[in-house]
Structure 1
Amino acid sequence: MQVDPRGQRVAAGITALVLVAVLVTGSGVLLAAQAVVFAVGALVGLRYSPYGILFQALIRPRIGPPGELEAAAPPRFAQGVGLAFAVAGVTGYALGADWLGIGATAFALGAAFLNATFGFCLGCEMFLLIRRVIPINRSDREVPV
């Protein structure tokens, strides 16, 4: 599966705005809603994510097709990383450990900001690094000569 990288940057921008709102308001409920968005992207697929649907319906028709596509696996992994931080943050807010909620949200915001602003997907880079260290297929491993 291939995805439009511009959609990923738009989604990261929306995510960053939501996470800033979480930090300003201290709302664990808003962070839980963002966790649902992360879960859909990671578990169901990027095209079914609310921000992906928004991009496909409102933005992509105005800007035309992408010049290139990218593999969906790294951004889906990144959504899973975002989900982990969001769940940690929601747990922190729910248990009264606001420091955990704030810290986890801040880390997720940092990653979303990097992607939205510079096109640098931290979770995607983690995915690629993990793939180099732990190949999925045996055919990915180098065969000794």
Structure 2
Amino acid sequence: MQLDPRGPRFVAAITAAVLVVVLATGSGWLALAQAAVFALTAADPRRGPYALLYRHLVAPRLPPPADREDAAPVRFAQLVGCAFLTASAAGYLSGATAVGLTFAAFGLAAAFLNAVFGLCLGCEAYLALRRLRPS
């Protein structure tokens, strides 16, 4: 499966906004909702709620993408995000606010880097792990 690389950056921008709200409010439930979004998007990056917004509202107004990217690194990155936001939600909801804050902040940093600079940390980790695997 190939993706328009602008889609994951759009998704990361919305994710970053959600995580700013999580950090500002300390909402474990919102962190859990974001973890669920990550889980849905990991299953199919084209079918997550933010990706659907991109596909139906933003992409039609843009020229066709110059290139496409493999979906596998994006799926892995979404799984990592799901793990981080699940840990964040667990921290907030159990009263371990520092844990919730830490994992949400890491998630925000990763989403910000992807949205603003196109640097997907989860994708880079996926590629590094692939290089380490014996062929």
Q: TM-score, normalised by structure 1?
A: 0.91
Aligned to 1:32: 32
Q: Distance in 2 between the 1:94 and 1:24 partners? A: 15
Aligned to 1:127: 126
1:85-100 equivalences under 5 Å are 85-100=84-99
Q: Distance in 2 between the 1:31 and 1:24 partners? A: 12
Number of positions where the alignment pairs a residue of Structure 1 with one of Structure 2: 135
Aligned to 1:70: 69
Instruction: Give the counterpart letter for 1:6 in structure 2.
Output: R
Is 1:52 the equivalent of 2:51?
A: yes
Instruction: Give the counterpart letter for 2:5 in structure 1.
Output: P
**SS of 1:66 mapped into structure 2:** coil
1:96-115 equivalences under 5 Å are 96-115=95-114
Is 1:6 the equivalent of 2:9?
A: no
Q: Offset at 1:114?
A: 0.3
**SS of 2:113 mapped into structure 1:** helix
Instruction: Give the counterpart letter for 1:11 in structure 2.
Output: V
Q: Distance in 2 between the 1:95 and 1:26 partners? A: 12
Is 1:21 the equivalent of 2:21?
A: yes
Q: Distance in 1 between the 2:17 and 2:8 partners? A: 14
CA contact (8 A) 2:19 2:108 kept: yes
Q: Offset at 1:126?
A: 0.0
**Bigger radius of gyration:** 1
Q: Distance in 1 between the 2:65 and 2:33 partners? A: 29
Q: Distance in 1 between the 2:103 and 2:123 partners? A: 18
**Unaligned ranges ≥5, structure 1:** 136-140
The CA RMSD measured in Å over matched residues stands at: 0.7
Instruction: Give the counterpart letter for 1:67 in structure 2.
Output: A
Q: Offset at 1:65?
A: 1.4
**Unaligned ranges ≥5, structure 2:** none
